[in-house]
Chains A and B, each alone.
Chain A
């Protein structure tokens, strides 16, 4: 269909080019600003490597947590029928539009020492706030909607007809989930997980509020960049470029081919991952 009628007015291309430039230009500006002579020493300094390692570890952990919590949520939202379903969806998606610093404060008053659950946790000898666990929780809080939205879209467009057939063939609901539903929406799940990982990697506001900025414990790469910006602009730029590179690699991996993790599912599931998934949002402005 490459030669088919497109129906896109020319002036749309002009605006689209402006949009693309708006995203690409700032990235180019970072590249232009990098002090290449000092680049390697800057990004391989101990504090940088510690921050990068922490970022990757916590983001991986929060992605796992997003899958564990987000898959059931997406299933319930896409397949369930109950009162308050729309309300639940709105609340699950709230972190998408909530300033992360507000999320951090909310988490603090939930898991913090004086928080809703924090007191009981403290009695059990568990301290969450200002620990690496807090970083993971903060990242999960902001990244969960990405997985839920992406997967719910995939589930909706895959439809439930395969599941119905599987049930009439004698498969219990758990078997249907394991052998039919999840394999069918695997591309959507994969792209949702990648988006969650990318969002976790960029998380700043909630982390700073809820977990603080302790080197090696809670100071992730975005926090390190913010800190360095005060003292050493070159280091901040170099680390920013590093984060951009990691983000590009992650997003590139999931959008390598149309249909994310391969065209195994029915056409609908692939379309959903691309239509239903929000763009990976870079971290919001500083708190």
Chain B
């Protein structure tokens, strides 16, 4: 394994183990405050974990334990960090910003600028070379910041929500750019946009409350989420419970009939996932062949594309505005969510 990180910080309830294969890009997803940026800071050496060990290609980043106390300073790690804001040095031109990494590595000025021009070309920003950061738009500045990070020739590139501060026009351009430059490069990208994970990453890690709750190939995690957060990203309802012969039983006692996606043994832990579009809403209990019907109290109604998303606690249903108006749905109302068993997939948790 080329990159291996184990780190724990007691005060933040942070305890994460992760690895990166050569040339692999991993997306770290999770709600705010889950510890995503903490993870990047630990890898970059900006934050010291209480205990743990980090390694890149056999080079020890940190090894902190009862008997060990090894610490490599950030500038010796080769872990360039690209933050949400570009953080270009305001007193240097775009070119000198990009040349900063090579210059710090001891490359003479002229050669460093040559390298900088190469990377500016790589992010289609050669014409910005002589500008000061104050004269760049948000998207331009972030492109220059990408070039600056790459010019430092990092062993691992760390990206902390690089698209989050950009407007909706600049973000797609940068995303395409990152897709190109991250291909075959070791990188960890923190994001809360599922599109970033799809487009940029080979693998996804879901971090919740300082711990990894789920990880795997992007497609698999989004198709068969096991954590509520991943289910939310994938736009699926998720019910965790115990597998029964016909489906699953939630801790609250709700029975879900569904399709077993994998060989399952009754009694084992499992989850049921189904899209909100497969859920219908009725005011009275419906009867019919294999259906799941359960009483809920509506909590919210919100527009969702050309549908209305009706929320009842953790569950959601998508119905047409006309249907919503016909039923007179409003928060607080009691109703029945009905979902066909065929639309519910059940798999191990």
Tell me the A residues contacting B by CB distance below 8 Å. 161-162, 164-173, 175-176, 179-180, 183-184, 186, 264-266
Question: What are 7 sample pairs from A and B whose C-beta atoms fall under 8 A apart?
Answer: A164-B74, A168-B75, A168-B77, A168-B79, A169-B80, A179-B103, A186-B91
B3 at the interface (CB under 8 A from A): no
* CA A167 to CA B104, docked complex, whole Å: 9
Given contacts A168-B77, A168-B79, A170-B152, contact A264 B90 (CB under 8 A): yes
- Report how many A-B pairs have Cβ atoms within 8 Å: 71
Given contacts A166-B89, A265-B91, A266-B90, contact A172 B75 (CB under 8 A): yes
Instruction: In the A-B complex, list the 4 residue pairs whose CB atoms are closest, starting with the nearest.
Output: A171-B104, A167-B74, A168-B81, A169-B101
* CA A171 to CA B103, docked complex, whole Å: 8
Given contacts A170-B105, A175-B104, contact A161 B83 (CB under 8 A): yes
B87 at the interface (CB under 8 A from A): yes
Chain B residues positioned under 8 Å from A266 (CB to CB): 90
Tell me the B residues contacting A by CB distance below 8 Å. 44-46, 73-81, 83, 87, 89-91, 100-101, 103-105, 148-149, 152, 154, 158
* CA A29 to CA B347, docked complex, whole Å: 90
Chain A residues positioned under 8 Å from B100 (CB to CB): 166, 169, 171, 179
| Shortest Cβ distance from B133 into A: residue | A266
| Shortest Cβ distance from B77 into A: residue | A168
| Shortest Cβ distance from B76 into A: residue | A170
Contact of B87 among A165, A171, A173 (CB under 8 A): A165
- Once the chains bind, are B152 and A169 in contact (CB under 8 Å)? yes
In this complex, the member of A171, A173, A180, A264 whose beta carbon has the largest number of chain B beta carbons within 10 angstroms is A171
Chain A residues positioned under 8 Å from B77 (CB to CB): 168
Chain B residues positioned under 8 Å from A179 (CB to CB): 89, 100, 103
* CA A114 to CA B100, docked complex, whole Å: 53
Closest beta carbon of chain A to B254's beta carbon, Å: 48
Chain A residues positioned under 8 Å from B90 (CB to CB): 184, 264-266
- Once the chains bind, are A172 and B83 in contact (CB under 8 Å)? no
* CA A169 to CA B82, docked complex, whole Å: 10
Contact of B91 among A173, A175, A184 (CB under 8 A): A184
In this complex, the member of A167, A168, A183 whose beta carbon has the largest number of chain B beta carbons within 10 angstroms is A168
Chain B residues positioned under 8 Å from A164 (CB to CB): 44, 46, 74, 81
Contact of A165 among B73, B78, B83 (CB under 8 A): B83
- Once the chains bind, are B89 and A168 in contact (CB under 8 Å)? no
Chain A residues positioned under 8 Å from B149 (CB to CB): 169
| Shortest Cβ distance from B78 into A: residue | A170
* CA A179 to CA B76, docked complex, whole Å: 18
Chain B residues positioned under 8 Å from A176 (CB to CB): 75
Chain A residues positioned under 8 Å from B152 (CB to CB): 168-170
| Shortest Cβ distance from A267 into B: residue | B90
Closest beta carbon of chain A to B210's beta carbon, Å: 21
- Once the chains bind, are A172 and B81 in contact (CB under 8 Å)? no
* CA A246 to CA B148, docked complex, whole Å: 46
In this complex, the member of A161, A166, A169, A264 whose beta carbon has the largest number of chain B beta carbons within 10 angstroms is A169
Instruction: List 4 additional contacts besides A161-B87, A184-B91; criterion CB under 8 Å.
Output: A168-B80, A170-B76, A179-B100, A179-B103
* CA A171 to CA B78, docked complex, whole Å: 10
- Once the chains bind, are B91 and A168 in contact (CB under 8 Å)? no
* CA A184 to CA B90, docked complex, whole Å: 8
* CA A173 to CA B45, docked complex, whole Å: 13
* CA A183 to CA B132, docked complex, whole Å: 14
- Once the chains bind, are B75 and A171 in contact (CB under 8 Å)? yes
